[in-house]
Amino acid sequence: MKKIILISMLAAAFALSNIVGNAQGQNSTLDEASERAVATFAGGCFWCVEEGFEKLPGVYEAISGYTGGRERNPTYEQVAGGRTGHTEAVQVFYNPAVIEYAGLLEAFWRFMDPTDAEGQFVDRGQQYRAEIFYHDEEQKALAEASIRKLKATGPFTSSIVTPVTPLGRFYKAESYHQDYYSKNPIRYRFYTRNSGRYQFVEYWWGTNAKQDFQQFTDAELLREYGEK
């Protein structure tokens, strides 16, 4: 598979163990079964977002699913058709002692386009919109602070348009979507080579994508870029 700047700088993912079988309806910032922290992001195709987060040190697992829509128990066909209002999203289960929410946000900006409100790369429509879904007020404050940091420090020249939205019901996607990048490497490689996502990351971040995502802790991010 083509080596990706974003992925090449990341250490091997933590071993996956005691994986939650069903993330449907998960709104707490803690996974009740294991007390692992939970965050939810949408950045276009959930195959790519899932891979990006699962390569981060401190992330146990990312689960692909749907949120932000009206229909109960939506199917992939319904969401892909743009009929339910949902977007493809990922719930990230992580160890905050290794990577804090601020670190997840830093990573998120480096594998999506925060200047595009109409989809992501080759995938167009509201079902591929980028969005940060916060689980509580602290995540909301951190997400908004991270956006202010991104606006202040770059690298983008266009407006940052990624919304920060309260999480509604999250529906786990069909099993064949989970870990798609590892279960279907040839198809995934073909898709990623033609999506434009990684060319975008390389263009805007270059060697800066190799920065330590934990350059700001949650407390430091709020102190520097929190709402005054």
Residue spans per domain, the chain: 23-225
Domain 23-225 - what CATH class?
alpha beta
Question: Rounded distance, CA 37 to CA 19, Å?
Answer: 13
Question: Rounded distance, CA 204 to CA 119, Å?
Answer: 18
Q: What is the pLDDT of residues 193-222, one digit of tens each?
A: 899 998 999 899 986 665 666 678 999 999
Question: Rounded distance, CA 196 to CA 51, Å?
Answer: 16
pLDDT (mean) for 10-14: 32
Residue 26 has pLDDT above 60, yes or no: no
For 53-79, b where at least 16 C-beta lie within 10 A, e where not — what string? bbbbbbbbbbbbbbbbbeeeebeeebb
Which pLDDT score, from 0 to 100, does residue 16 have? 29
Question: Rounded distance, CA 184 to CA 64, Å?
Answer: 15
pLDDT (mean) for 90-94: 98
> Which pair of structure tokens corresponds to residue 51?
């891979």
Q: What is the pLDDT of residues 144-191, one digit of tens each?
A: 999 999 999 989 999 999 999 999 999 999 999 999 899 999 999 899
DSSP state at residue 160: P
Catalytic residues: 45
Q: Where are the alpha helices (DSSP H) in 127-217?
A: 137-153, 180-183, 185-195, 197-205
Which pLDDT score, from 0 to 100, does residue 208 have? 62
Which pLDDT score, from 0 to 100, does residue 135 have? 98
pTM of the model as a whole: 0.84
Residue 2 has pLDDT above 50, yes or no: no
| 66: three-class secondary structure by DSSP | strand
Rounded mean pLDDT of the chain?
85
Which pLDDT score, from 0 to 100, does residue 216 have? 86
At residue 30 the predicted structure's pLDDT band, cuts being 50, 70 and 90, is low
Which pLDDT score, from 0 to 100, does residue 6 have? 36
Which pLDDT score, from 0 to 100, does residue 169 have? 97
